[in-house]
A = this chain, B = another copy of it.
Amino acid sequence: MIIPALPALLVEPPVRAALVEDLGRAGDLTTDAIVPPTVRAEATLMARQAGIVAGLDAAATAFRLLDPSIEIAVERPDGTRLAPGDRIATIAGPARGMLTAERVALNFLGHLSGVASAAATLVEAVRGHKARICCTRKTMPGLRALQKYAVRVGGGVNHRFGLDDAVLIKDNHVAVAGGIRPAILAARQGVGHLVKIEVEVDTLAQLEEALAVGIDAVLLDNMTPEQLATAVRMIGGNAIAEASGRITPKTAPAIAASGVDLISAGWLTHSASVLDIGLDWRG
């Protein structure tokens, strides 16, 4: 499935900000001093590592914001599985602009491809099960929309985008409310008809309490595969079952085998390693 691109209105501001962050007050001292404005260049975005590419719009935006005459021809669009040595895109134009925008373009592309690749690794690990891989709100400040997009590109799905698009009742909310039941009732009372409500439960007793009052989704936190399987049976399809806590490519298959609908992992966005993508210049 092709993941719809983010609107340019959401991509351009962080890219512009990153370019300004890098240009500082005087611009690219090195390139300006060494490269005459008339020199043109051609370069290729190359995969140096296997993974999933994501963020080509952001990278292209970086080049075009720096110099609108730079042209980018994408060969392997977002979502393509890359092998080392694969050519991703060709970039041609004035050498100055290409050199100046290169690092910012690669910073977006490498990071977002890293997030997509991490998601894809988990997606692969649970293949054959119905569980889908999901992100969290543990994102890099300022990059949430882009990171969540990269998770989708990697085959995952998105959890809440913020505090305002769904209810997620956590242990501290439960403590203040005096129990799972009053917390859910208060939430249901407080929000609109298009807002889903999820509650975090640490025990099967809490799960029972949540199911009794009715709930859209339950976050089963740090449970063993056995506990999860029991939970899934208790839920019986009446709520979405999300497992979280210490999810790795190794632990994911057993968790998925429990029958949960979703497996969420914060490290997809807070600790993903960059995917090594380089820009090779042609003589």
Residues of chain A touching chain B, judged by Cβ–Cβ distance below 8 Å, are: 1, 4-7, 9-10, 14-37, 39, 41, 65-66, 95-96, 99-100, 103-104, 106-108, 110-111, 114, 132, 134, 137-145, 148, 157-173, 175-177, 183, 186-187, 189-196, 198, 216-217, 240, 242, 261-262, 266-267, 270-274, 281, 283
**Considering only CB atoms, which chain B residue lies closest to A33 in the complex?**
B190
Contact assessment for A144 and B191 in the assembled complex, using a CB-CB cutoff below 8 Å:
no
Q: Which of B7, B25, B134, B140 contacts A145 (CB 8 A)?
A: B25
Contact assessment for A138 and B103 in the assembled complex, using a CB-CB cutoff below 8 Å:
yes
Contact assessment for A7 and B100 in the assembled complex, using a CB-CB cutoff below 8 Å:
yes
Q: Which of B21, B31, B32, B36 contacts A25 (CB 8 A)?
A: B21
Among all A-B residue pairs, the 10 with the closest Cβ atoms: A33-B190, A18-B141, A24-B164, A4-B32, A26-B164, A166-B194, A271-B273, A28-B163, A24-B162, A165-B165
A111 to B19, CA, bound (A): 22
Q: Which of B9, B270, B273 contacts A19 (CB 8 A)?
A: B9
**Considering only CB atoms, which chain B residue lies closest to A241 in the complex?**
B193
A65 to B141, CA, bound (A): 15
Contact assessment for B29 and A107 in the assembled complex, using a CB-CB cutoff below 8 Å:
no
**Considering only CB atoms, which chain B residue lies closest to A162 in the complex?**
B24
**Considering only CB atoms, which chain B residue lies closest to A166 in the complex?**
B194
Across-interface contacts of A106 in B (CB, < 8 A): 138
Across-interface contacts of A100 in B (CB, < 8 A): 7, 163
A242 and B22 contact, Cβ closer than 8 Å, known pairs A66-B7, A107-B140: no
A132 to B31, CA, bound (A): 22
Across-interface contacts of A17 in B (CB, < 8 A): 141-142
**Considering only CB atoms, which chain B residue lies closest to A39 in the complex?**
B176
Contact assessment for A18 and B142 in the assembled complex, using a CB-CB cutoff below 8 Å:
yes
